[in-house]
Amino acid sequence: MSVAQEMILMLPEIVLVVGACFILLCPRSLAWPLTMLTLAAAVGAMLATAPDAPVLLMSGMFERSAEVDVLRILICVLTVLVLRYARGYPVSPDRLQSNEFYTLATFGCVGMFLISGAEHLVALYMGLEILALSLYPMIAMVRDDGRAGEAALKYFVLGALASGFLLYGMSLTYTVTGTLHIGELATQLAQLETGRVLLLGMVFMLAGLAFKLGATPFHMWLPDVYDGSSLPAATYLSAAPKIAGLLLLLRLFGDGLMSLAADWTTLMMALAVLSLLLGNLVAIAQTRIRRMLAYSAIAHTGFVFLALCAGTPKGMGSAVFYTLVYALMAAGSFGMLLLLNARTAAEDIDDFKGLNHSHPWLAVMVLILMFSMAGVPLTAGFYAKLYVLQAVVDAGLWPLAVVAVLLTVVGAYYYLRIVWYMYFEEVDRPAEPGQDPAHVFLVSANALVLVFIFAVPQPWLEMSQRVAGVFVGGQ
């Protein structure tokens, strides 16, 4: 393949990088429309250059496939959604609506794109760090808030530690196999005996990724970052990067280390159970909504690891479907929180009291979002959990499925508590959401999509299975 042909297939990444540079340099009044134009142009470039079959680029460093492009488009859609939600946030608008904020969000998309297409461990690490280096300053952007600086510093220090774990694991794997190409890595491992050095490398890589994803016991940074950063930054962190994190796991373990599935699935079982246990139990004790959503995110990460530890194509497909649904739920939940904070502070769970009496439509949307988070039928969250549990049972891990069901029932309490507050509690001064019609429309559409997915799940499930098939042995 010629250099020109490779550049055409890498056009989405090129559009994002060039667009981010122009966003940084343009007048502030043009930052928002130029960001939207850049993301739309990246989607257009993907649609115009979509390959018929997976193809390797840049000497095998990257892979481009139409299936993964679907997730890239969803990343762009979620980014647009999050940035539009953030426009109504009143705190420090001179910083949160600045060129830098939009530039960091766009470069974060570049990192996520590189992760999704990486076929080389160095490329995988490069995409991960571009995403992380975009998030650190975004979290610390509100400089007059000490909590934001503390959260960013904690995230940076622990992120650097996680990167060290990941790199050390990659170096040990290279020592044994002599390659950093993920496809060649899978071929080499199929011919080699599993040794201690290789297992140690796998453990370090999994620990590094568990840090990045906030899985227990590597979760200590996540609640502080969600609670200490600005709401727009927390919203961005909660949605699209989850898809990139899943793609990273699929690239590394579903493809490159699939021969070691008997070993890494055992470790993922432990991560899944610990994340479900701590996330669901500690969330019950939270009074601040953002800390509750942080521990909820840890529990949902446990469900993703639960799907992956099945070690089957069906398990990988259910992990993709679960992550897509969770990204929509998280974006909608934080979008609603941004709407409630548009005029007055609404950071505590008690601030949802009486919402049905003052704003019944918004209360219904919150109900849908919370029901979906809890896995209640008539919402997409029910099917997301159901298909993960089916994959686990089909893999013969039914005791793990029983534990997950019990902890999910326990975790439903803190979601239903918000519903109770909205419908059965009253306060003298209820929350005063913003009046932006576009914001209300988008957050309502976000919630209603979860009902639509429940009504018509099959296309989403088939798409998730096709995406997983790109990573799992070309199935």
Q: pLDDT digit string (tens) for 333-392?
A: 999 998 888 777 778 898 888 888 888 999 999 999 999 999 999 999 999 999 999 999
Query: What band does 313 get if pLDDT is binned at 50, 70 and 90?
Result: confident
Task: For the chain, give the mean pLDDT.
Answer: 89
CA distance 318 to 468: 9
Query: If you write DSSP's letter for every residue of 162-194 in order, what string do you get?
Result: HHHHHHHHHHHHHHHHS--BHHHHHHHHHHSPP
Q: Is it the case that residue 90 has pLDDT exceeding 70?
A: no
Mean of the pLDDT values across residues 423-448?
85
CA distance 108 to 1: 29
Instruction: Please tell me the least confidently modeled range out of 26-40, 69-83, 250-264, 322-336.
Output: 250-264
Closest CA to 385 of 393, 375, 372, 377: 375
Looking at residue 450, what is its pLDDT? 95
Looking at residue 370, what is its pLDDT? 95
> Under a CB-based contact definition with an 8 Å cutoff, are residues 196 and 176 in contact?
no
**Tokens at residue 123, please?**
């490329």
Looking at residue 91, what is its pLDDT? 56
CA distance 445 to 84: 13
* Per-residue pLDDT reduced to its tens digit, 108-165: 999 999 998 888 999 999 999 999 999 999 998 877 777 888 889 999 999 999 999 9
* Per-residue pLDDT reduced to its tens digit, 51-72: 888 888 888 888 888 888 988 9
CA distance 8 to 14: 9
Q: Is it the case that residue 92 has pLDDT exceeding 60?
A: no
SS3 57: strand
Q: Is it the case that residue 10 has pLDDT exceeding 80?
A: yes
Q: Is it the case that residue 189 has pLDDT exceeding 90?
A: no
SS3 462: helix
Is the pTM for the entire model greater than 0.85?
Answer: yes
- Which helix (H) or strand (E) is 64 found in, with range? strand 62-64
Looking at residue 474, what is its pLDDT? 44
What's the farthest any 2 CA atoms get from each other in the chain? Answer: 70
| Identity of the amino acid at 75 | I
SS3 285: coil
Neighbour count for residue 27 (Cβ, 10 Å)? 8
Q: Is it the case that residue 475 has pLDDT exceeding 50?
A: no
Whole-Å CA distances, 152 to 100, 141, 233, 280:
16, 9, 11, 25
* Per-residue pLDDT reduced to its tens digit, 391-413: 999 988 899 999 999 999 998 99
Crossing angle between the packed helical segments 66-86 and 437-455, to the nearest 10 degrees: 150
Whole-Å CA distances, 249 to 131, 141, 231, 233, 453:
15, 29, 27, 24, 25
CA distance 230 to 140: 8
What residues are paired with 118 via a beta bridge? 62
Q: Cis before residue 217, ω within 30 degrees of 0?
A: yes
Residue with the larger pLDDT of the pair 186 and 48: 48
> Under a CB-based contact definition with an 8 Å cutoff, are residues 111 and 134 in contact?
yes
Looking at residue 95, what is its pLDDT? 58
CA distance 388 to 317: 9
Q: Side-chain half-sphere of 214: how many Cα atoms within 13 Å?
A: 27
**Tokens at residue 209, please?**
């990724």
